[in-house]
Amino acid sequence: MNVVRSERITPTMQRVTPCGDDLGDFPAGQESAHIKLMIPNDNQDFTEFRELIESGSKAIPRRTFTIRHHRTDTREMDVDFVVHDGGGPACSWALAAKPGDFIGVAGPGPIKKPVSGADWFLFGADIAAIPAAAAAFEALPQDAVGHAVFEITNDDDIQPVSAPKGIKLHWLVHDDPHTSSEQQLEFFRSLDWPKGLPGIFVAGESGAVSGLRKYLINERGLDKRAMYISAYWKIGLVEDQHQEQKRAEAA
């Protein structure tokens, strides 16, 4: 796919919009689902890039991102990249992206959403998971109620999201992404929990997600199969190392 636009939507988020004829048969309504981005090096030749992808070469870095918006009429999708100083290929590519640049896209993976039949909803996400969480609650019925807590790096990272009126938004600032945060956990603990089955959606940095998972299962007695909980990245690990660690833990 080729980039048609790239813009900084908040200080810590770069929105890149790729477009391509190959999106013609991409299924509609996949906002919140993940995609795998295959990232070219600086000055990479397109034909060589395509051959490397088709041969399954490990020389091309692959990173996981979320479909934030998809417009079937223009064959475009918006992908929101956290701007971080860890120097990863995805972040660096997004910061330099300009119209005409190319990128490989594979997917989509499953749509991310809280359990169906919930009486109320509770979302917890850091900036990397805002695209998935926001797309998930934008798909809820308009009479949905609950809370969404978003952890951002500074006040200017607050971004417009179209939540149902009954979903209360809470923006918490954690200014050092290199240290794990317990703010979402403190928020979950301090919440006056409504009655009924909660629809839980939690995603973000591994340490923060792990604390929330333990709280929800051990202290709230929730069934882990009835929640969407996922570590999207881990402090100090590149994505391949983090995915390998998750697979080892699951095994």
Ligand X SMILES: Cc1cc2nc3c(=O)[nH]c(=O)nc-3n(C[C@H](O)[C@H](O)[C@H](O)COP(=O)(O)OP(=O)(O)OC[C@H]3O[C@@H](n4cnc5c(N)ncnc54)[C@H](O)[C@@H]3O)c2cc1C
Q: Phi then psi for 197, rounded to 5 degrees?
A: -75, 120
Least Cβ distance, residue 248 to ligand X (angstroms)? 16
Q: Contact, 77 vs 67, CB < 8 A? A: yes
CA distances from 63 to 81, 91, 150, 181 (A): 11, 10, 22, 23
Nearer to ligand X, 226 or 238 (CB): 238
State how far Cα 143 lies from the chain centre: 24
> Is 216 an interacting residue with respect to ligand X (CB under 6 A)?
no
Least Cβ distance, residue 125 to ligand X (angstroms)? 10
> Is 174 an interacting residue with respect to ligand X (CB under 6 A)?
no
Distance in angstroms (rounded) separating the CA atoms of residues 95 and 123:
28
**Binding segment toward ligand X, per CB under 6 A, in 58-66, 115-123, 143-151, 207-215:** 58-66
Distance in angstroms (rounded) separating the CA atoms of residues 202 and 181:
14
Distance in angstroms (rounded) separating the CA atoms of residues 5 and 101:
10
Give the one residue of 66, 159, 181, 206 binding ligand X; rule: CB under 6 A: 66
Give the one residue of 1, 38, 77, 82 binding ligand X; rule: CB under 6 A: 82
**Binding segment toward ligand X, per CB under 6 A, in 20-28, 88-96, 179-187, 219-227:** 88-96
Handedness of CA 75, 160, 129, 9 (dihedral sign): positive
> Is 77 an interacting residue with respect to ligand X (CB under 6 A)?
no
Binding mask 225-244 toward ligand X (x if CB under 6 A, else -) reads -------xxxxxxxx-----
CA distances from 72 to 23, 39, 75, 101 (A): 8, 23, 5, 20
Give the one residue of 81, 137, 188, 228 binding ligand X; rule: CB under 6 A: 81
Binding mask 8-47 toward ligand X (x if CB under 6 A, else -) reads --------------------------x-------------
Give the one residue of 65, 121, 137, 150 binding ligand X; rule: CB under 6 A: 65
Six token digits for residue 237: 């690990």
